[in-house]
Amino acid sequence: MKKILLYTILVMMAGSVFAEDARFIKANELFTDAKFLEAANAYEEILNSGVESGEVYYNLGNAYYKTGNLPKAILNYERALLMLPHDKDIRYNLEMANTQITDKLETVDEFFMITWYHNFKNSTKSDTWALISILAFIVSITSIAFFLFSSTKGIKQISFFLSIILFLISLISFNFSANQKDKLTNRSSAIIFTPSVTIKSSPSASGTELFILHEGTKVRVIEKVSDWYRIQISDGNEGWAPEKSMEVI
């Protein structure tokens, strides 16, 4: 009876994976046939079914880019980049889309070591960093065992320093993995979706007008009050915008 149940579960899982692959293949075929709006709808259908994939978001972004819908293209490129931070094609297409939006914002200068740190952290995805952390920890424990039980002085010295280095690598990798996972679960950026939105000094339509943003611009969400977001743009300026004017990445 247990074997029958296990077999049934495996068949159901295989059927689900096949269905997902079939839908993805069909959506790709629509894109190849230049039916970009239909392809976008097909990719959206996959995502709406509960499947979240960097590849699907990337292809959806491409489909919207081809239809000229820059805000949705940028939104889905950003979502794809959250899941596949090391993917150069996603990053390139996102940069191309950003060159076509209205707002050309300056960015606050960042110390080069911080930039290098972020680039290195994003050189692979969260699951890979977690795997590196686990493997480094296991080898570190093995090195400690060699240090404790080996009678050879040279092996003991090498094992001791190796265990420390690998333990540090394990901690750093775990931190990178946790940081990327946090970015996936606690998303704090959004894309402006309305053609233009006036940023206010307070969460109210009667607030003082500070500046105007246009569709496709990325903002960082700092806090929410009622149906207003306090946002910050890349040049450091802050203000309040209606929640309905943007979509969280």
Average pLDDT value over all residues in the chain = 87
CA distance 69 to 97: 10
Please answer whether residues 35 and 209 qualify as being in contact, where contact means their C-beta atoms are separated by less than 8 angstroms. no
CA nearest to 203, candidates 237, 240, 247: 240
Give pLDDT tens digits for 186-211: 888 999 999 999 999 999 999 999 99
The model's pTM: 0.77
Q: Which residue has the higher pLDDT, 185 or 39?
A: 39
Query: In the chain, at which residue ranges do the beta strands (DSSP E only) sit?
Result: 189-192, 196-200, 209-214, 218-225, 228-232, 238-242, 246-248
Q: How far apart are CA 223 and CA 234, in angstroms?
A: 16
* Angle made by CA atoms 197, 91, 173, in degrees to the nearest 5: 110
Q: DSSP for 116-151?
A: HHHHHHTTS-HHHHHHHHHHHHHHHHHHHHHHHH--
Distance CA 24, CA 43 (A): 7
Per DSSP, the three-state class of 111 is coil
What is the pLDDT at residue 147? Answer: 87
Q: In the prediction, which pLDDT does 101 show?
A: 95
pLDDT band of 108, cuts 50, 70, 90: low
| pLDDT value at residue 109 | 63
Whole-number Å distance between alpha carbons of 11 and 248: 37
Residue 20: predicted pLDDT: 59
Mean pLDDT of 45-60: 92
